Amino acid sequence: MGVTVRQILAHKPFKNFKVIAGREGLDNQVQGISVSDSPDAHLWNNGKEFILTSGYIFTEHPDYFEKLINSDAFKSVSCMGIKLRFFKEVSKNTIDHFNKIKVPLIVLPEEITWMTIINDLNILVMNKNIQQFIITNINPNNLLEYSFQKRKVHKILTNMEQELDFPAMLYDVEAGLSYFSSDKFIKYSKHLKLDDFWNPSFETSKEVLCQTLKMTRYRYKDDRFDRPFSWITVPVVIGNEVKAYFVVIEKENLIDYFDQFAMRIGFILLAQMFEQLSFLSLTENYKFEQLVYNLINNRLSDQEVDEAVSHITLSKEEHFYCFMINVNGESDNFKEDRLLVRKLMGPAILRINDIRISVIDSKSILALVPKENRETGLDNKRLLDTVTHLLVENYVKLMNRYDIRIGCSDEAINIIELQRNYERCVQAIQMGKVLFPNELVVSYSQLGPFAWMSINQEELYKMRRKLEMNFNEKECQELLHILKIYLKNNLNYSQTAKETFLHINTIRKRIDTVTQKLNLNLEDPDERLKIEILLRIMN
């Protein structure tokens, strides 16, 4: 938006500037300065300029002044400053013309230099922009609170749109969160995918506006718009890694010179804010992981738990579902890929804000998914189903080189009871391998009564190998099918014969064959349970 002519004249360095015509244009926006001391300077006017002239050119070319002020390009300038050393008299016709086109005509002091005017105007614009971005009326309870930092980001973006009249966005790459200056950004960009702003999926032109900041303007033509659609993207880079993208949409006009001042100041404030958020995130993660480690190992007293929780942005009243991802077998590379696992279980992929992630050990990571999630609008069952679906979907994309199991404790409890939820996740993983060998994600409630048991997998595998050695495949399938129905019917031969459409003596014979070859005593409840589990696995 720049500054108005009125704001310039109210600034102390310009107090001796005298307006002699065009006072109705004092609220014209100034977006830059140009010097007009050549007979064709008007050909290069962009509009919204403060034009400076010594008047000398008009003594050399008497007709040029009339030609200049009557040109179409001149009607779009903001104001004109002239020194009267060479231009001795301003005619009534000239004053009337400036009044008519509402362009202020300003007499400049004789001694002032162009450089002084330009510098003072730049300082005025920068100070105005800095003042615009000063954050007030946000009083945090805790300076480390994410909500406080996020509100500051929103405030900067909102102030920027008010100043520039261009909608803006900050996209947090790691968290997958977007902050918008207003709904205008979403409205104007609904035909684009989010990552088109920094990695366009179609042909665009690129113009680097600032090499140091990697500030780039993208433009492309579309039949839906009267002019090329354009936007400016600036990456937020921390430690050689892009952590966020700052985007401003230029829907109606391109951002002018002074607007770029505001944009750069706003970007610097956002980048600084994002560095603070990144640092706070690291600090918060460390404290949270320490708390999780101590809770699941029962190392804290009630008082110590209260104190530890008070140092992180977490409430004891919040309730969470737990998901634990665990890699099976020896996988040294998994240690190096834990950031990728964090991504797999993070908000960017699960599309749920406020997920808490903690590395348990070299093979396990725990994610706490908040039960009450206003961001998604999902009820609890749909929330769990959504998380499960996305974990499976993205495991295939990101982590399928590992044998991974995910256990879910689908009872929401608070952070103090985390040990119980953690143990349920462990049990869901361990028993899930036995009961649901082909499922990636197993919840504790799926285990049923098996949740209370600890079964030696090796014993089950030995029994399975014994089955495979004693019977051919077809015979094995037939016998096990009968055995399964027999066990379901509580060892009742008649009911089993009825369900299989076989004679009762055939059933007796086949059950005897199985029990003898496997050395099974089906009257023993423990042995019967083992074979029932085995049949479930093989099924």
pLDDT of residue 134: 59
Identify which has the larger pLDDT, 243 or 258.
243
Closest Cα to residue 385, out of 374, 397, 393?
393
92 CB-near residues (< 8 Å, 6+ apart):
none
How many residues are present in the chain? 539
Collapsing DSSP to helix, strand or coil, 331 comes out as: coil
> Average pLDDT, stretch 409-416?
86
The DSSP output letter for 448 is G
Collapsing DSSP to helix, strand or coil, 314 comes out as: coil
> Average pLDDT, stretch 472-497?
83
And the tokens for 466? 């014994």
CA distance 297 to 294: 5
Closest Cα to residue 266, out of 215, 217, 324, 341?
215
Collapsing DSSP to helix, strand or coil, 270 comes out as: helix
Closest Cα to residue 266, out of 122, 131, 145?
131
* pTM score of the predicted model: 0.54
Q: What is the pLDDT of residues 162-172, one digit of tens each?
A: 877 889 998 88
On the question of pLDDT at 329 being above 90, the answer is: no
Q: What is the pLDDT of residues 436-482, one digit of tens each?
A: 878 888 899 888 877 776 666 676 667 667 766 766 667 777 888 88
529 CB-near residues (< 8 Å, 6+ apart):
none
pLDDT of residue 231: 92
Q: What is the pLDDT of residues 41-76, one digit of tens each?
A: 767 777 788 989 888 877 777 778 888 888 887 888
pLDDT of residue 108: 92
CA distance 183 to 176: 18
CA distance 208 to 35: 26
Contact 262, 132 (CB under 8 A): yes
403 CB-near residues (< 8 Å, 6+ apart):
327, 328, 329, 331
CA distance 175 to 399: 19
And the tokens for 244? 């966020």
- Residue type at 533? I
- Residue type at 268? I
CA distance 508 to 467: 19
CA dihedral 98, 100, 103, 104 (to 10 degrees): 60
Q: What is the pLDDT of residues 195-227, one digit of tens each?
A: 899 999 888 999 998 888 888 999 988 777 677
CA distance 490 to 339: 51
Look at the block and give the residue holding tokens 């391998």.
433
On the question of pLDDT at 408 being above 60, the answer is: yes
